[in-house]
């Protein structure tokens, strides 16, 4: 038993914010941001929030898959920015779309969230426990950003992407996940923590902290490594891969991964210029755009690869 993606959907944040808009609030420029990252603009949510964007992406994915929400058995959502500690974002989506027969939970793996969520849902399908699952990557990352810190605030955007997957006998779906907890301090955002009646402190709340150069070095080394690992484990050569759909964190990271794999940049579609880094949402948003633009043909082999805080990484080889 294996897994096939049968439909996709996406929903970016409602408001477009350009590099020039950011130059009005911090000392930066369109030239600096574009040349260092490839980002021209990003979308920020002004009302929908994580679960609202996720529910819209989920409905579109169900429509695209030709499946009714009641037919879903499972919802797995990769997010670092749920609105509540509990309930999970997946439960909010379940209610919003009427997926009354689905179990749901969230996965916390930062920008690798969609890949980890997809691997998790795939494992349930492969085991025979469920047949239809909805996998979401959704983040309202703008609420974790310190908007006075130019080193990070120019990088991120909000959005959600979703895919409906189905169990089936034939096809190809193989992947790996990894993490290096020793490097957790390189990319962090503290949750509400450290306060109770004994400490007489109010819990602290954090903003995103990132050692950009460490993250950059990690990504350009680890992403090609995990892609090679998945391809080698399945005896698939790089010439057989139609597209590498990477987490959209920085155009220069993607360029560098392409060079290290000695693969042409045309195999690495990008939409970072429009959305910035949408964390767990970046891979499914890009996948949905490619699907709707007719770039994917049934039988194409594609690789998804995510990386982010944790540090975490993961790659999936699948047949469209
Ligand atoms: N606008 C203008 N100048 C800026 C700036 C901004 N938005 N942000 C930083 N700078 C300045 C710095 O203050 C520094 O100035 P200084 O030399 O006077 O101190 C200079 O630009 C260089 O900063 P540095 O941090 O060395 O830049 P960089 O070339 O490493 O690029 C990143 C910074 C963040 C773009 C880059 O490190 C990166 O992309 N890292 C990976 C981040 C990532 O992908 N994270 C998410 C992973 S999921």
List the residue whose alpha carbon is closest to atom 12 of ligand 1.
Answer: 151
- The response to whether residue 37 sits with its C-beta less than 6 Å from ligand 1 reads yes
Cα 61 to ligand 1 centre (Å): 35
- The response to whether residue 98 sits with its C-beta less than 6 Å from ligand 1 reads no
Mutation choice for ligand 1 from 36, 78, 314, CB with most ligand atoms inside 8 A: 36
List the residue whose alpha carbon is closest to atom 20 of ligand 1.
Answer: 151
pLDDT, tens digit, 9 for 90 and up, residues 227-256: 999 999 999 999 999 999 999 999 999 999
pLDDT, tens digit, 9 for 90 and up, residues 204-217: 889 999 999 999 99
pLDDT, tens digit, 9 for 90 and up, residues 104-120: 999 999 999 999 999 99
The reported pLDDT for the residue numbered 314 is 98
Q: Are 160 and 56 in contact (CB under 8 A)?
A: yes
Query: What one-character-per-residue DSSP string does 17-29 give?
Result: EEHHHHHTTSS--
- The response to whether residue 209 sits with its C-beta less than 6 Å from ligand 1 reads no
The reported pLDDT for the residue numbered 310 is 97
Give the rounded distance of the alpha carbon of 228 from its chain centre: 20
CA 143, CA 282: separation in Å to the nearest integer? 17
Q: What is the pTM of this model?
A: 0.97
Closest CA to 281 of 229, 317, 245: 245
Residue 151 Cα: closest atom of ligand 1? 8
pLDDT, tens digit, 9 for 90 and up, residues 166-202: 999 999 999 999 999 999 999 999 998 888 889 898 8
């Amino acid at each position: 038993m294996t897994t096939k993606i049968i439909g996709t959907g996406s929903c970016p944040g409602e408001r477009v914010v350009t590099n020039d808009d950011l130059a009005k609030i911090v000392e930066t420029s369109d030239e600096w941001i574009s040349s260092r990252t490839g980002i021209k603009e990003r979308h920020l949510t002004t009302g929908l929030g994580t679960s609202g964007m996720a529910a819209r992406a989920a409905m579109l994915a169900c429509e695209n898959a030709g499946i009714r929400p009641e037919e879903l058995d499972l919802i797995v959502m990769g997010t670092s920015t749920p609105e509540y500690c509990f309930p999970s974002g997946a439960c909010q989506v379940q209610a919003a779309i009427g997926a009354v027969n689905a179990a749901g939970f969230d996965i916390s793996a930062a920008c690798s969230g969609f890949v980890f969520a997809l691997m998790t849902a795939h494992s349930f399908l492969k085991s025979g426990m469920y047949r239809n699952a909805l996998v979401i990557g959704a983040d309202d990352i703008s609420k974790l950003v310190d908007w006075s810190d130019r080193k990070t605030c120019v990088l991120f955007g909000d959005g959600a992407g979703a895919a409906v997957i189905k169990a089936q006998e034939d096809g190809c779906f193989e992947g790996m996940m990894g993490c290096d907890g020793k490097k957790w301090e390189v990319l962090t955002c503290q949750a509400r923590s450290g306060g109770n009646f004994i400490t007489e402190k109010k819990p602290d709340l954090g903003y995103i902290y990132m050692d950009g150069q460490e993250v950059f070095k990690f990504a350009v080394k680890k992403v090609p490594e995990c892609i090679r690992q998945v391809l080698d484990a399945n005896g698939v050569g790089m010439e057989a891969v139609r597209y590498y759909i990477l987490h959209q964190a920085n155009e220069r990271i993607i360029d560098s991964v392409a060079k290290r794999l000695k693969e042409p940049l045309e195999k690495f579609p990008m939409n970072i210029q429009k959305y910035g880094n949408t964390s767990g949402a970046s891979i499914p948003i890009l996948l949905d755009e490619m699907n709707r633009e007719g770039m994917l043909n049934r039988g194409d082999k594609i690789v998804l690869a995510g990386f982010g805080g944790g540090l975490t990484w993961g790659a999936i080889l699948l047949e469209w």
